[in-house]
């Protein structure tokens, strides 16, 4: 059963809302373009515009401003040596990235939702969720860890251009600089897990997925939001695990009717990666590169599939029962 779909009369069917529907009374909904086409185009344009704003405008500006304040002015010499830049301005790089995500991903998602409905928070599925569903979602992400690690192995075995491998090597060097810095675990988790978990989910699962669901139904929305999430990170060697992670979070949002499970799962996933990588970097027998290239035992991969499958099997009907028990919709009276 679809949890949301467009309906005649300028409303969006959403069984998790009190009335069972959301008003489509924003400026974009007055366009003469068909609703499915409008939803698909605005979903894609929203992702593309936010990505460009984040990566190529706001983050660089924030970094330049911080370096200028630290140095009392700008010098191009700081940008001619990427290794020196990462070593000298690790904190500034992380803060700039977080500023870019907040202003380039989260804020546009909030503003875009208002262009569709006056009930923008519900449009983005910013609502509470039953704690039992949250617990199931977190159990699922624990089970997904060996699966994504195995998928990363499969992904790395695929042929990639040398230029891509060089780009990813520079990303690993930046991660290593962060982990070897004295910024602290709390700071790193905030910058690398908390901020992305909130900002990326508002854009991908909050706004874009809602648009794709309106255009192609729940299954299409989940596939599009999950697949584009895998491509968004510009890490071809991690495209498969990131896509599977994106699909899992997209399903959670659709099935629970809330963005909260995806946000917490995203934070938990990134947080576990930060803690694991930091442990590897602070122990001489390990490294981030060695951690990424570790072969995952088949027994753990199989156990991971069992855990995730069990979570989905239990959650699918359970979430529907919770929704109906809460009386989230009054459709029976209409």
Rounded-to-integer distance, Cα 92 and Cα 75, Å:
16
Q: pTM of the prediction?
A: 0.91
Rounded-to-integer distance, Cα 71 and Cα 28, Å:
45
Residue of 213, 242, 215 whose CA lies nearest to 228: 242
User: Could you read off the pLDDT of 151-170 as tens digits, one per residue?
Assistant: 999 998 888 887 777 777 77
pLDDT in the model for residue 328: 47
Please answer whether residues 151 and 60 qualify as being in contact, where contact means their C-beta atoms are separated by less than 8 angstroms: no
User: Which residues, other chains included, contact 12 with Cβ-Cβ below 8 Å and sequence gap of 6+?
Assistant: 4, 5, 6, 21, 22, 23, 24, 117, 123, 214
What is the band of 303 on the pLDDT scale with cuts at 50, 70, 90?
very high
Residue with tokens 């099997």: 313
Please answer whether residues 123 and 209 qualify as being in contact, where contact means their C-beta atoms are separated by less than 8 angstroms: no
pLDDT in the model for residue 288: 59
What is the band of 331 on the pLDDT scale with cuts at 50, 70, 90?
very low
Rounded-to-integer distance, Cα 64 and Cα 57, Å:
11
């Amino acid at each position: 059963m679809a949890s949301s779909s467009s309906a005649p009369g300028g409303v969006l069917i959403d069984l998790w809302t009190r009335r069972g529907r959301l008003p489509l009374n924003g400026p974009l909904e007055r366009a003469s373009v068909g609703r499915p086409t409008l939803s698909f185009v605005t979903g894609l344009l929203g992702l593309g515009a936010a990505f460009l704003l984040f990566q190529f405008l706001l983050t660089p500006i924030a970094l330049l401003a911080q370096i200028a304040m630290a140095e009392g002015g700008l010098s191009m010499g700081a940008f001619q040596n990427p290794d020196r830049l990462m070593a000298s301005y690790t904190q500034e790089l992380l803060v700039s990235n977080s500023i870019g995500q907040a202003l380039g991903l989260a804020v546009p998602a909030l503003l875009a939702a208002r262009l569709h409905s006056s009930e923008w928070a519900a449009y983005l599925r910013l609502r509470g969720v039953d704690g039992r569903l949250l617990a199931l979602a977190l159990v699922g992400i624990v089970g997904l860890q060996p699966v994504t690690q195995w998928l990363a192995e499969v992904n790395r075995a695929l042929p990639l251009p040398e230029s891509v491998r060089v780009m990813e090597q520079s990303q690993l060097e930046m991660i290593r600089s962060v982990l070897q810095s004295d910024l602290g675990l709390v700071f790193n988790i905030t910058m690398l897990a908390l901020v992305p978990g909130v900002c990326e989910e508002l854009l991908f699962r909050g706004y874009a997925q809602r648009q794709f669901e309106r255009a192609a139904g729940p299954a299409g929305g989940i596939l599009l939001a999950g697949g584009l999430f895998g491509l968004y990170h510009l890490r071809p060697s991690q495209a498969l695990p990131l896509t599977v992670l994106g699909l899992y979070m997209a399903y959670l949002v659709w099935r629970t009717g809330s963005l909260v499970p995806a946000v917490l799962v995203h934070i938990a996933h990134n947080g576990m990666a930060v803690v694991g990588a930091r442990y590897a970097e602070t122990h001489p027998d390990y490294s981030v590169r060695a951690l990424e290239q570790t072969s995952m035992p088949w027994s753990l991969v199989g156990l991971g599939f069992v855990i995730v499958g069990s979570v989905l099997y239990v959650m699918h009907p359970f979430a529907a029962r919770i929704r109906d028990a809460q009386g989230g919709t009054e459709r029976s009276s209409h």
